[in-house]
Each structure stands twice: as C-alpha cells, then as structure tokens.
Amino acid sequence: MPSEAPSGAPDFFGWSCPVPLRDHPRVVMGHGGGGAMSAELVENVFAPAFGGRVLAQLGDSAVLELGGARLAFSTDSYVVRPLFFPGGSIGDLAVNGTVNDLAMSGARAAYLSCGFILEEGVETAVVDRVARALGAAARVAGVEVATGDTKVVEAGHGDGIYLNTAGIGLVPAGVDIRPQRAVPGDVVIVSGEIGLHGVAIMSVREGLEFGVEIQSDCAALGGLVEAMLAVTPDLHVLRDPTRGGLAAALNEIASAAGVGVTVSERAIPVPPQVANACAILGLDPMYVANEGKLVAFVPREHADAVLAAMWAHPLGARAAVIGECVTAHPGMVVARTPFGGTRVVDLPLGEQLPRIC
C-alpha cells in the first residue's frame, strides 16, 4: 500500500515515491502512475501552462461543443511492457483505453486517431501484429481509426512500440456524467471483478506463476454504458479504474465532488486468483489496475434497474454494489473491513507497477 512505500529508489514493484512530493528536480516513474504524483505534475506544470479550463479535465475525457455537436474528446499514450500479455496487447489497450475514457462521459466512441512511435530495429512482424490487434479491437468496439502518424526513433530511445490514441464520440442529449456530480445517497457499483489487468501484467513480466494463467480484463465498455444509460440518462459518475485501481478512482471522485465514499471490502468482487496473487505479493487489490471495468455512482432510485441492466450485459455480469456516497468525511474513501473495522483508502502516491498501460 502506498503509505508503506519506501521513500528511496524503486523496489521490486517499481515504487519510487520520494517524500516530500514537491520540488522534484527530475521526473521519476511515480509521475506516470496516475496517483498523487501524477496529479501534482498536472496541477503544478500542465494546468498552469495550458490554461484554466483544462485543469479539471486533464486525465479524463473532455466534453466540448463543436459545430452544434456535443463531443467527448480524450487521449492516452500506451507504453505497456510487454507488448503482448495474457488477454491482450498494446493494440487492444490503445483502443479500449481511449474508448473507455470516452464512455466514462457517456459517449460512444466514433473515431480514433493513432500515433505510432517505433524504435529502430523493432521487427516489422511485431508492428504488423500490434496493428492487426488494434484494428480488430476497433472493429469490436465499433470505432473507426480515421487518421494516424508514424515516427521512428533510434535504437535505445524507445521500447519497440509506443502508441497514442485520441478519440472522439458523441455525448447523448441529457447526459452529464462527471466526477463532480457525485452526491450523498448515490449507490456505488463496480461492473465486475477487479485486479485482473494488473496481476496479468505482473505475472508475465516478473515470471510469476499463480497456478492458473490470469488474463487481463481488457475490453471496451461503450456497450455496457449504453445499456446503463438506457435505464436512465441520469448516471452521476462513471470512472474506469485503470492506473491506481479502484482506490485512485474512488479518491478522485470523492475529492472532485467533496463527498465521502464508504465501501464494504467484503462486497468488492475480487477473483480468487487475484486475491491469491495479491496475498503472495503483499498488494491490495483495490490499488491494482483494471482495463475493462467501471465504477458508477448512481442515484439510489435507479440503482436496482441499472444493476439489472449491467447483469444482462456480458461485461457487467458480475456487477455489484460496493458502497455508497456519504456526507461524512468529505474527500475521503473509507472501507469497512470484513472484521467490522474501518480503514482509510488513500490515493496511491506513485505506481505499484510502472508501464502497466
């Protein structure tokens, strides 16, 4: 857990979280972890440089008006290592990650851009395999790759393939989904079992064996979100718990809306293989990355119907209510343990496993 992370050089799982955060003279791996250090880079460097409106949007999808259309617009770069892993590849991630960012605004992705940064010497067969995975994932997600770019850097200045995708999609009328809309009384739902992507990457990268191959949950959530919106357009918040896991997602929402969040550890669906791997590795599944899950804050009166709609969708079959939004402890996430106690679920500082997406 982040509060127990060493403060010096990276350890086995890539913790590199010097304290204090301020006054880093150089970028460390933790700045890319999607936790407190990433947020600090955004707040202190990018937001002042780019201007005010972007502040609340950086790292999420932006909702814009253009030519009378209400669009969601989002980007992610992908630097996952290895390029291929059980359940997916960097090409799948590059589609599903950006499609999911758009879906978290309620938008169905329509078009993707795609930028390749190739390292000199990478096999063209590998580039081809990644491109085909990307194309296949785009077809599954119902999104079209509309424009692209290729750059090549010298050997030793890359790692085979880095990818960037940006996506645009239409936000349906009447839909206004953003972290600031969480209100006390909202029911917190997670769409399925957590931790699979992170444990899958970790197992293949570190050569760990957990008895059974653990597959990434990498998937496009546009269809699941459409099914939920068919119940009610009034979903308050959607978030895909990628880097930093469920813990980071819930903390960002609590902080953005100024509300408290309580969850029941017992209610959070953790598959046995993830629980076992995390027990062996000393990790908390709430901090492990997902690539095909969402967390939803839903008005109480719609919660049962939304949950039923999720159960009816293949990607929501294991959806569960895990907690609620409260007036107590604003900005803070509190978990009830199976033994009746409570603990604070912190925003992770850096990253458990660098280059997970």
> Of residues 120-159, which lie at the interface with a copy of itself (CB under 8 A)?
120-125, 127-128, 131-132, 134-135, 138-139, 144-154, 156-159
Residue type, 115: G
Query: Rule CB under 8 A: which of 168-187 touch a copy of itself?
Result: 168, 170
Q: Which stretch binds a copy of itself (CB under 8 A): 74-82, 195-203, 310-318, 337-345?
A: 74-82
Phi, then psi, of 67 in degrees rounded to 5: 60, 30
| Of residues 280, 313, 273, the one with CA closest to residue 294 | 313
Nearer to a copy of itself, 12 or 26 (CB): 26
Which residues in 15-34 contact a copy of itself (CB under 8 A)?
A: 24-33
* 158, two tokens: 């890359």
C-beta of 171 vs 298, nearer to a copy of itself: 171
Piece of the chain touching a copy of itself by CB under 8 A; list 117-125, 222-230, 267-275, 335-343: 117-125
Residues 30-59 that bind a copy of itself (CB under 8 A): 30-33, 38, 41-42, 45-46, 49-51, 53-54, 57-59
Determine which helix (DSSP H) or strand (DSSP E) holds 307, and give its type and residue range: helix 300-311
77 touches a copy of itself (CB under 8 A): yes
149: left (phi over 0), alpha (psi -120 to 50) or beta: beta
Cα separation, 284 vs 275, whole angstroms? 9
Among 21, 86, 119, 336, binds a copy of itself (CB under 8 A): 119
The residue within the footprint of a copy of itself, chosen from 1, 62, 183, 267 (CB under 8 A), is: 62
User: Looking at 9, 66, 211, 341, which residue binds a copy of itself (CB under 8 A)?
Assistant: 66
- Contacts for 117 with CB less than 8 Å, ≥ 6 apart: 151, 152, 153, 158, 161, 162, 163, 164
**Contact set for a copy of itself, span 302-331 (CB under 8 A):** none
Are 162 and 93 contacting, i.e. CB atoms less than 8 angstroms apart?
Answer: no
Instruction: Find the angle CA(254)-CA(258)-CA(262) to the nearest 5 degrees.
Output: 40
Of the pair 173, 314, the CB lying nearest a copy of itself is at 173
Structure tokens at 232: 């009610």
